[in-house]
Amino acid sequence: MFLTPETIAILILDCIFIVFAFFAFVISINIVKKWDLNSTSSLQYSLEKKAILAATIIKYIFVLKLPLFMFFVFTADKISGVITGAMCAAGVVNSVEFGLWLFVFKIINLFVFGFWIALHVKDMQDEKLSLTKLKFSIFLVAFLLLIIEIAYEISFFASLDVDKIVSCCGTLFSVASASSFSVIFMIPNNIIITIFYATFFLYLVSFFLKSELFFFFSNLVFFIVSIISLILFFCTYIYELPTHHCPFCFLQKEYHYVGYLLYVTLFIGTFSGISGSILSLLKPHHSKSYYKVSLFFNTLYTAIITAYPVVFYIKNGVWL
């Protein structure tokens, strides 16, 4: 077990999350099975109250998970100082086989929990509570995802080994690495750039068409393409090194923590787009303001990430 104050903090919170999420899980099962708003039974009455408890618990977990995600990256960064070979969080995360999965689940869960809360807010606006059953069915899945994430996280800290020599991000994110991930490093830069801006254009089109389904998919694709193009192309301009492809190093102080800004804007932009359009599909009268929020943040992200190569070119007169 790799116990530092940071990992202990994360583990304590994991335990709290498990216990509380389990309460919410039991409540959810009951609601999914027995919810009937027309009934005047005391059972229904107590379910209505318990639904509020479950929602409060889920809000609590989500509100903490957001900063905790950054704290996790921060911690992994710090551990990289102790583990031989690791230079940043990437090396630490990858020193364990399922490290990447832990990360994927963390991101998925942020989206799922965030979406759940958006759904909840929507649900509470209507006295028929027509989304209640749906939202608690979704929580049944979200609970499983949370358990998987926490299981990964605990075994992650359990199997971190100070003596094991790991690869640093320089080798992980390159053609040379053995992972299946490495294949995409063969894609030439101009294709990546084309795909990225084409996706952004598609996104803009979907914004003006105001079709929920289209907007949903364009946000999803934009998120994935942004992450890939960030690793493959844009981050080399942040580092001003053609070979450095790490998606973690720019979270560090040397790069003015710009990574947090990038990830947060991208998250808000695509999250509001994705959750907003699902809610609109569920409830046609949903306010359309999420379109603007999404547009603002996704455009901001695109602007920041475009600025890096452009500024580099203006300063140096060449591309990397």
Partner 1 sequence: MIRCKNISKIFNVNKPNELTALKEIDLKFKEGELVILKGASGSGKSTLLSLIAALSKPNVGEVIIDEKRISKMPDNFTSLFRRENVGFIFQKYNLIPTLSAYDNIILPLIPTNPNEKQLHKRIDELLKTFCIEDKKDVLVKNLSGGEQQRVAISRALINNPKIIIADEPTANLDAKLSLDFIEIIKSLKNDATTILIATHDPLFFDLDFVDKIVELKNGEVIDVSHS
Partner 2 sequence: MKINHYLIGFAVSSLFRRGTKSLFVLFIFTALIFLLSSILFISNSIKEELNLTLDSLPQIIVQKLQAGRQTNIELKRVNKLLEFQGVQSAVPRIWGYYYFEKAGVNFSLVGIDAYDKQYKNSFANIVKNVNFDALEKTSSMVVGQGVKKALSENYYKNYFNFIKPDGDFIKVPIASTFSSKTSLESNDIILMPRSLVLEIFGMDKTKATDIVLSVANPEEIPTIAKKIKNLYPDTRVITKSDLKVSYQNIFDYKSGMFLALFVISAFTFFMIIYDKASGLSSEEKKEIGILKALGWKIDDILQEKFYEAFIISFVAFISAIILSLFFVYTLEAPILKEIFIGYSRLKPSFDLPFILDVQTIFLLFFLTIPLYLAAIIIPSWRVASMDADEVMR
Contacts to partner 2 by CB under 8 A? 3-6, 8-10, 12-13, 16, 20, 23, 49, 52-53, 56-57, 60, 64, 67-68, 71, 74, 78, 124
Assess 45 for contact with partner 1 (CB under 8 A): yes
Instruction: Find the part of the chain contacting partner 1 (CB under 8 A) among 9-17, 71-79, 123-131, 206-214.
Output: 123-131
Nearest to 274 by CA among 67, 118, 102: 118
Assess 40 for contact with partner 1 (CB under 8 A): yes
Q: Are 172 and 97 within 8 A, CB to CB?
A: no
Specify the long-range contacts of residues 277-285, CB closer than 8 Å, at least 24 apart.
Answer: 277/212, 277/213, 277/215, 277/216, 277/219, 278/115, 278/212, 278/216, 279/118, 279/119, 279/122, 280/212, 281/212, 281/213, 281/216, 282/119, 282/122, 282/131, 282/134, 283/122, 283/131
35: left (phi over 0), alpha (psi -120 to 50) or beta: beta
Assess 53 for contact with partner 1 (CB under 8 A): no
Nearest approach, Cβ of 142 to partner 1 (angstroms)? 22
Nearest approach, Cβ of 112 to partner 1 (angstroms)? 24
Of the pair 50, 106, the CB lying nearest partner 1 is at 50
Among partner 1, partner 2, none, what binds residue 57 when CB lies within 5 to 8 Å by partner kind? Answer: partner 2
Among partner 2, partner 1, none, what binds residue 42 when CB lies within 5 to 8 Å by partner kind? Answer: partner 1
- Farthest-apart Cα atoms in the chain, separation: 75
Assess 129 for contact with partner 1 (CB under 8 A): yes
Among partner 2, partner 1, none, what binds residue 281 when CB lies within 5 to 8 Å by partner kind? Answer: none
Of the pair 9, 213, the CB lying nearest partner 2 is at 9
d(CA 195, CA 204): 14
Assess 32 for contact with partner 1 (CB under 8 A): no
Among partner 1, partner 2, none, what binds residue 187 when CB lies within 5 to 8 Å by partner kind? Answer: none
Q: Which residues contact 220 (CB under 8 A, 6 or more apart)?
A: 270, 274
Assess 38 for contact with partner 1 (CB under 8 A): yes
Assess 180 for contact with partner 1 (CB under 8 A): no
Assess 36 for contact with partner 1 (CB under 8 A): no
What b/e sequence results for 180-190 when a residue is b if at least 16 CB atoms lie within 10 Å of its CB, and e otherwise? eeeeeeeeeee
Assess 34 for contact with partner 1 (CB under 8 A): no
Task: Retrieve residue 57's tokens.
Answer: 């618990």
**Residue position matching structure tokens 């990447």:** 100
Binding site for partner 1 (CB under 8 A): 37-38, 40, 42, 45, 48-49, 52, 124, 127, 129
